[in-house]
Amino acid sequence: MVNSVMVFGAHSYIGFSLIEKFLEEGVEVTGIFTEPNRDDQKNLLNERLMLIGRNAYFQAKFSSRHLTEENQADVIMFCFDMEEKDLKEEEFKKAIQLAKKHKTQFLLIGSNVIHPNKDRNPFIETGLSYLSEQLDHYSVLFFPSLYGPFQPPEEKIHQHLLAYIDNKQTSLNIEEPIMYIEDATNAVWAYMDELELGKMYSFLSELNDETNSFSVELKMNATFSEVDEVFEKQVLHSSTSIEKGLEKQLDTIIRFQDIYKLK
């Protein structure tokens, strides 16, 4: 039973969404954030923090420098998105050292990783190498591109929905594996107690497509043959259709249209 988690990379899409999931489950959460560089990112982060509100189970820290070696949790997570340009190596090492000191379960959780046509970021090789040298009580969970409410504005699906609002585009071609954000966070919660130490997992989604309002063409949702053989592969059945997922994402964009600077 997990009573507390520490989430490094709390500013990332998967990181903040995991914070929301664990708080829903009554778990104490410490989120270590990196201050956003852009005003829109900062404003969206503030809005999401306000949605959490005052919560006795949640503590936010905006630098790992505010952590001491005495800070600990049942599980330490380092979350990242491969589209990030700066993956904060010092934060990664701090998370690992805390897990090492307290012999805490460590999860490396990445999104936008599974994409057969995308060059792999060097962080994958160097990070996994460092992790395996330092710890033996860790697991790795990799996800494809994640979509849904609060998807980062630079993502293609978000850009499609902006064009949809502006009546410039009605069809969307998805040429990479995708997963609804809540399916990803539910998977982390469901699998956490069953993960084998030292093993790497890749998660893909069986998408439920019932599109009406949006014209969506799925050219690819990666097959197992396209994912590295070193991973334990898991297929998740999506409880949210692409249609519903896009509608929820669209509702969020409209709700925060001032931040997204819609005309």
Residues composing the chain: 263
List, as one string, the DSSP characters of 46-87. Answer: HHHHHHH-S-TTEEEES-GGG--TT---SEEEEEEETT-S--
Query: What is the reported pLDDT for 119?
Result: 61
Summarize pLDDT for 56-65 with one digit per residue, the tens. Answer: 999 988 877 7
CA distance 198 to 131: 10
> pLDDT band at 214, cuts 50/70/90?
low
What is the average pLDDT across 199-211? 75
CA max distance for the chain: 55
Residue 229 lies in a domain: yes
| Residue 195 belongs to domain spanning | 4-147+178-204+223-239
Number of domains in the chain: 1
Any domain includes 101: yes
Residue 217 lies in a domain: no
- For residue range 10-65, list pLDDT tens digits in order: 999 999 999 999 999 999 999 999 877 788 888 888 999 999 988 999 998 887 77
Give domain status of residue 86, yes or no. Answer: yes
Classify residue 154: in a domain, yes or no.
no
Tell me what the pLDDT averaged over the chain comes to.
83
Task: Assign 212 a pLDDT band (cuts: 50, 70, 90).
Answer: low
Q: List the single range of 66-70, 114-118, 187-191 with lowest mean pLDDT.
A: 114-118
Q: What is the DSSP string of 156-209?
A: HHHHHHHHHHTTS--EEEE-S-EEEHHHHHHHHHHHGGGPPTT-EEEEEEE---
Domain assignment of residue 170, yes or no: no
pTM attached to this predicted model: 0.89
- The CATH number assigned to the domain holding 63 equals 3.40.50.720
With contact defined as beta carbons under 8 Å apart, do 96 and 131 qualify? yes
Q: Is residue 261 part of a domain?
A: no
Which pLDDT score is estimated for 1? 78
54 lies in some domain: yes
220: pLDDT confidence band, cut at 50, 70 and 90? Answer: very low
